Amino acid sequence: MSTQRKQGIDLGLAIAGWGYLLLGFLFLMLPIVTLIAFSFEDARFPTFPWTGWTMRWYQELLSDGRLLQSLQRSLIVSPLAAAIATVIGFFAAYALNRFNFPGKNLLSTLFIVPILVPPLILGVAFLGLLSRLNLQGQVFSILLTHVVILMPTAIALISLRLAQMPKDIEEAAWNLGANEWQALYRVILPWAIPGIAGAWLLAFTFSFDEFIIAWFVSGFQPTLPVSIYTFLGANLSPSLNAIGTIVFGISVVLLTGVELLLLPLLLDGRSSSREM
């Protein structure tokens, strides 16, 4: 197939296309490479050309502790928020996929809408409610609010996976004597695992990177992005590059998960759902 579809593209266009891809990747990768490179650069104010090699920004990062503390906080809040969102999302996605009922469209809309509302608006809104409940300014308040913005993608991705499952598998389980719960636990859940894992990854990333809601509700217990924002305003320091490099390490682990779980879901879904 690939030879067939390349026949029609002439050489000039192909060269231009490859050149464009190269330029595109340069743009996409440039900040990441810069971040890593400058975490080892000696000069305090990052300029060019490069002046020397150092590890002291990593030492500064370790001795200061503020950024690391908020990184820790983020590493508690984000996995937890992602887990809660995926669990709730799995059940909702299953119900939407399996049952028909009046108001289903309305409900699906309700489940998707939170991602269409800018986090800036949600941040102000959450603060309004949480400050009435005296729940603002805690790590817990970030957890509560992040679950809201993580659920839509979780529901969407898990639905995608469930929709790829042939309906007769569940029916076969019923006919073999499983009740609804057993079928859900023994048949649907194992099938949905890749979707659930992919959804968790995406949710984790959203939460880990989320700034504005956390800024509004976190108070004196900032997550990593909020902490970095404060750092940027106050004392520009290359330890930001150092923490960036560490965060990038986390991203690489995530990306491996994305390649193994999320992309198959998005790219190969069509072929496996053919029979439907």
Partner 1 sequence: MTKQISIPGKRSRIRWLPQDNSLLKYICLAPAVIYDSIFFLLPLVFLVWIGFWSVENYRAVPGFSLANYSDIFSQFFVKSRYAYAIAQSLWVAITTTALGILLCYPFAMALMFLVPERLQRLLLVLAITPFWTSYILRLYAWQTILNNNGLLNTLLIQLKWVEQPVTIMFTQWGTRIGLLHYLAPIIILILYLVLRNTDRSLLGAARNLGATQWQTFWRVILPLSKPGIVYSAVFGLIISLGDVLSGIILGGGTGQSVLGKFPLFSTVILNEYAASTNLPRTSALATILIGIMMIILVSGLKLTESES
How far apart CA 67 and CA 226 sit, in angstroms, is 10
Min separation Cβ 20 and partner 1, Å = 6
Min separation Cβ 218 and partner 1, Å = 13
Min separation Cβ 68 and partner 1, Å = 15
C-beta closer to partner 1: residue 35 or 165: 35
DSSP string for residues in 99-136: ---TTHHHHHHHHHGGGTS-HHHHHHHHHHHHHHTT-T
C-beta closer to partner 1: residue 157 or 224: 224
C-beta closer to partner 1: residue 56 or 211: 211
Measured CA to CA in angstroms, residue 148 lies from 11, 93, 235, 261 at distances of 50, 15, 33, 23
Min separation Cβ 169 and partner 1, Å = 14
Measured CA to CA in angstroms, residue 219 lies from 61, 131, 149 at distances of 22, 11, 19
C-beta closer to partner 1: residue 77 or 92: 92
How far apart CA 219 and CA 64 sit, in angstroms, is 20
Min separation Cβ 142 and partner 1, Å = 12
C-beta closer to partner 1: residue 119 or 194: 119
Amino acid, res. 155 = I
